[in-house]
Amino acid sequence: MKNARLATATVLTAVLATGVMADAGAQPTSLMDGVYTAEQAATGKALFEQNCSTCHNADYYKTVLQTWRGQPLMYLFEQVMSAMPADKPGALMDTEYEDVFAYVLQIVGFPAGETRLQYAGGSMEDIAIQPAP
């Protein structure tokens, strides 16, 4: 019984994730495609060290990416904007959260590219979360 319910939940999650991507009207972009710039990650490093690194490290983010796999990056970004840093939620500017995300993507092993990671404009909705390489 427990397994059957688990299987149903898995299928439902897959259907929901597919629906989200279909609504976005585009093929999802992969985190391997270079969705942030190296410059952004360099800026993000200092912000990360000031605001995030006391509570979690790269290994933690790898686990989070596993948990969120298949979901749009935008959902995780919005979650972090509203809840982190846990002791000062929403304390950073949007562009600072973007830079912190760029740095996190870099330390878990995703490549940098030519395009800035940006919240405004909604492109993050088309980026699918996947486990770290």
Query: Which residue in 74, 57, 80, 48 sits closest to 129, CA to CA?
Result: 74
Residue 80 lies near ligand HEC (rule: CB under 6 A): yes
Residue 130 lies near ligand HEC (rule: CB under 6 A): no
Residue 65 lies near ligand HEC (rule: CB under 6 A): no
d(CA 108, CA 124): 18
16 neighbors 112 (Cβ within 8 angstroms): no
Residue type, 81: M
Number of residues that bind ligand HEC (CB under 6 A): 15
Shortest gap between Cβ of 86 and ligand HEC (angstroms)? 3
Q: Which residues bind ligand HEC (CB under 6 A)?
A: 51-52, 54-56, 64, 67, 79-80, 84-87, 92, 100
